[in-house]
Amino acid sequence: MASLGWPFVMVFSFIVFQGLFHFLSARISMLCCKGFRTLTDLQKTEWNSRIVSTFHALVVGILCLYLLWVDDAVNADPVWGDPSLVKLNVGLTAGYLISDLLLILWYWKAIGDKYFVIHHLTALCACYYVLVSAILDNSSNCGQDGKPWTKGKQQRTCASANRLPQQFLSSN
């Protein structure tokens, strides 16, 4: 990570998440979810946004758990330990946040919300602080640990589009 640097990771992350939104999400969804074709263009935009969000949450969540359970450098000294993998994780998140913020602004009618904009800008400020400072890296990793568990709405959207039973829709 030190040889790549977090700016590279952030730009790479941005490109990957834009590609996922614009090219892969719809193709995968058409193959896996028969109800995707019946969605309106606005609903497809929201759907693709949720796919990207869920993918980000899974990648970041898995890396967070790895750091929490396995990474000796961070666990040996959470405040001053080697934060290279944590910075990679935060760089991934910063790239995602910039990508998603751009999508929110571009597709405002479908997914725009001033609170999402505030959330993304605030999170970007936190990412910037972690990426340029030498402290609080591990605590930023812990703040991302909950990402994978907050995706109930994405699952309900998928279930609704595929006309799954109400019991599935009510579970979070």
pTM of the model: 0.78
The phi-psi region of residue 136 (left if phi > 0; otherwise alpha if psi is between -120 and 50; otherwise beta) is left
Model confidence pLDDT, tens digit, residues 45-77: 999 999 999 999 999 999 988 888 887 877 777
| CB neighbour burial string for 83-115, b if at least 16 within 10 angstroms, e if fewer | bbbbbbbbbbbbbbbbbbbebbeebeebbeeee
Provide the token pair at 89: 């994780």
Tell me the CB-side half-sphere exposure of residue 136, using CA atoms within 13 A: 11
Radius of gyration of the chain (CA): 17
Confidence class of residue 105 from pLDDT cuts 50, 70 and 90?
A: very high
Block residue for tokens 């000294």 = 77
Confidence class of residue 164 from pLDDT cuts 50, 70 and 90?
A: low
Mean pLDDT score, 76-102: 85
Which element (helix H / strand E) includes 35? none
Confidence class of residue 12 from pLDDT cuts 50, 70 and 90?
A: very high
